[in-house]
Amino acid sequence: MNCKVLVIGGGPAGYVAAIRAGQLGLETILVEGDRLGGTCLMRGCIPSKAMIHAAGQFAAMTRAAGKSPLGISLSAPPTLDLGQTVRWKDGITDKLSTGVGALLKRAKVQVVNGWATMVDGKTCEVASAKETIRITAEHVILATGSEPVALPHIPFGGVVMSSTEALSLKQLPERLLVIGAGYIGLELGIAFRQLGSAVTVVEAADEILPLHDKQLTDPVRRWLDRSGVAVKTGCKAVALTQDAKGAVVTIEDQTGRRQDVAADKVLVTVGRRPKVTGWGLENLDLDRTGPFVKVDDQCRTSMKNVWAIGDLVGEPMLAHKGSAQGEMVAEIIAGKRRHFRPVAIPAVCFTEPEIVTAGLLPHEAEKQGIEVVVGLFPYAANGRALSMEAGDDNGFVRVVARKDDHVILGVQAVGAHVAELSAAFVQALEMGALLEDIAGIIHVHPTLSEAFPEAALKALGQAIHI
C-alpha cells in the first residue's frame, strides 16, 4: 500500500491528524493495533470521568439516605452493582470509538487494524491475524502514545493494577491502596472512596498533587481528611507481599520508619512514559530528549518528513495537546504555515473539588523574575456556588497578572465544576487579555463564571463582593 500520509496510532493525537489530513485531500492511512480512540478514550480520560460521575451520583444518594438540608431523603442507602457501572462506562467508550471510525471514514481515511512496526522512515509493516501488510508513505506521523509506569519492586499483576485495570473492576475492593498522589491517583482514589472503599494514598513528595501549590490543593486535602481517606505523604512503597486474600505493602517515611498497609487491591499511579518500544523506533534515526522523541515547534523530528505528536514528544501528556499538534502537522503537510506555540495548555484535575490550571502559578512567575499582582475570589461569596452546595469547599478563582501592565499570565481555580471554566481562562491568556478586559466583561448572573471578573477586580484593588 502507498499513501501521502501514514499515521501510526489512533489515539486523540493520531486520529485527529488523520481526519484533518483527509479533510485537506491528502491520501491518508491510519494504523491502530487496538481500538480507535487510544488511551484517552478507551482507558483514560473518558472512562475515568464516567466512573467519577457514577461515584459522585452514588455519594449524593448515600448522603440523601441521611439528614439532608435540602429536604431530600431516601428511605434506605443506595446499593451498587459495579459490574453494571462498568458496562455503562464501556457503552460510552464503545459509542465514541465507533464515532471516531465514522469520522475517519467520512474524511476518506483508510484504517488498517494491526500492529505497526517501522522498517525505515517511510515504511512500516502491519501484522494482523491474517497477513502482513507493507505500507509506504511520503510523510509518517508517529502518535504511539504513552503507558503507565510500574514500580520495579511492585510490578503490575495480581492485586497490583494500573488505572486501566482499575476502570474495569467487576467488584469493589474493600481496601484500596493508591501509590502516587498525582491527578490520576487522586481522581480514582476519590471515586473509589465515594463508592465505599476504604482508601489509603501514599505519596513520596511532601504534598499531594506536587505540581500544584498548596493553596490550590488544600481544598482537596480537606475533602480527603473529611472523607476518611488516609493520606501518607513523604512516604515510599518499598516492598510488597501478596496472596490470594490481597496484599501487604510496606511503606517507608523520610526518617526510615516502616509501616505495613494491607489492601485488597493496589493501584500504582506514579506516572506515564512514552511508548517507545515494540514498534520499530530502533529502526529510525531520531533524536531524543530523555525518553521522548525530540521535535521542533512544528513537530518535525530529526528525519525528513517524519513527524511525532502527543505523549511521544513530552509533557504535558494531555489529549488536547496531542490533538492540537495532530491538526497542525496535517495542515503543515498540506502546505499551510503553522507552529505549535501555545501561550498556555490548560489542565484539569477531576478531584473533589476540581482544580484548573492555565498559565503561570504565582510562584512560577516570581521564579522567572516577574513582579505580579494576584487576585482571588472565593466561591463562598458566589451566589451560584452557594445555591448548588459548592460554597463551603474553600474553592476560589485566582488570577495572576504582571504588575506593570496588568497582562494576565495565569488563571487557576478550585471548586465544584470549575473544569467548565477552563475555556474562558485559556482564551483570556491566548488573547493577551488584561485584568481590565476581564473585569469589564459582563458575565451572566448567577453563574460560577462571575468569580473570574471578581478575581480580576480584586487584583486591581477594586473588589465589589468581597
343 residue type, one letter: V
Residues linked to residue 132 through DSSP beta bridges, in sequence order: 127
For 433, list phi and psi in degrees, rounded to 5: -65, 150
- Cβ neighbourhood burial of 321 (10 Å; 0-12, 13-18, 19+): buried
Angle between helix 12-23 and helix 319-333 axes, rounded to 10 deg: 30
- Catalytic residue flag (residue 339): no
Contacts of 109 (CB under 8 A, 6+ apart): 18, 19, 21, 22, 28, 29, 30
Lookup: cell for 356: 484548573
**Residue 196: left (phi > 0), alpha (psi -120 to 50), or beta?**
left
Lookup: cell for 271: 506516572
b/e 71-94 (16+ beta carbons within 10 angstroms → b): eeeeeeeeebebeebbeebeeebe
* 3-state DSSP helix/strand/coil % of the chain, to nearest 5: 35, 30, 40
CA–CA distances in Å: residue 222 to residues 20, 219, 466: 44, 5, 23
Catalytic residue among 153, 339, 363, 445: 445
Active site residues: 445
